[in-house]
Structure 1
Amino acid sequence: MPHIKTLIRASFIAAIAAGSLAAHAVDPRDRAFISRGTPEGEVMYKIGKPDHEAFVNNIKGQPEVKTWTYFPHPRDPQTMTIITLRAGVVESIERKIAR
């Protein structure tokens, strides 16, 4: 009955893969825990890629300034978060109630 062993092994691997994806899932409510001084990479790791990115200042020889916008999400349906990054570090966080 090698067929049954193959099915069990495949099911086990699928269960492990699903569990690891759930462990890395981003909870949009974690946006509230980002603070000034947080590095850009840590923001991306904790709350994921922004829904919108805009450059405020991108002039050679000056620190890059950009905003990352996170739109409301079903798990945090009323809050839009706008993070301003200067030279790769969080400079400000604005949270707006969106209705």
Structure 2
Amino acid sequence: MSIKNALVFALLASACAVAAADDARDRKFISKGMHEGEVLFKIGKPDHEAFVRNFKGQPEEKTWTYFPHAQDPQTITILTLRAGVVAEIERKIAR
């Protein structure tokens, strides 16, 4: 690997780490009524996704779970999405 490639890789890795830290702090700013895409843009992909209801012809319901992060320690954030919109937000202290 050339020095130029190594430098580019190091810069990208550090930028990703900074972005992940910002995302964890932004979890508390998610609100009911936000669309799925907006949540993904603000805080990224969930650590776990589960489908609650997924029947043909009915609105999809699922939960997204975000595990504790260094910037948001001991807090699990669980979002319930119905038809692609945040319907419920639950933040729990995990010890």
Instruction: Report the AA paired with residue 14 of structure 1.
Output: V
- Structure 1 position 24, deviation (Å): 7.3
Check 1:61–1:24 CA distance in 2 against 1; reply closer, same or farther (3 A cut).
farther
- TM-score, reference length from structure 1: 0.78
Check 1:24–1:46 CA distance in 2 against 1; reply closer, same or farther (3 A cut).
farther
Q: Which residue of 1 aligns with 2:15?
A: 21
Please state whether the residue corresponding to 1:25 is helix, strand or coil: helix
The correspondence for 1:89, drawn from 82, 85, 91, is: 85
- Percent identity over paired residues: 67
The correspondence for 2:53, drawn from 52, 57, 63, is: 57
When the two chains are superposed, the root-mean-square deviation of aligned CA atoms in Å is 2.5
Q: Which residue of 2 aligns with 1:67?
A: 63
State the structure with more CA Rg: 1
Give ranges in structure 2 of 5+ residues lacking alignment: none
- Structure 1 position 25, deviation (Å): 1.1
Please state whether the residue corresponding to 2:8 is helix, strand or coil: helix
Q: Distance in 2 between matches of 1:93 and 1:73?
A: 17
- Structure 1 position 62, deviation (Å): 0.4
- Structure 1 position 74, deviation (Å): 1.4
- Structure 1 position 19, deviation (Å): 9.1
Q: Distance in 1 between matches of 2:19 and 2:49?
A: 21
Check 1:69–1:19 CA distance in 2 against 1; reply closer, same or farther (3 A cut).
closer
State how many pairs are aligned. 91
- Structure 1 position 81, deviation (Å): 0.2
Displacement over 4 Å in runs of 4+: none
Q: Which residue of 2 aligns with 1:33?
A: 29
Give ranges in structure 1 of 5+ residues lacking alignment: 1-6
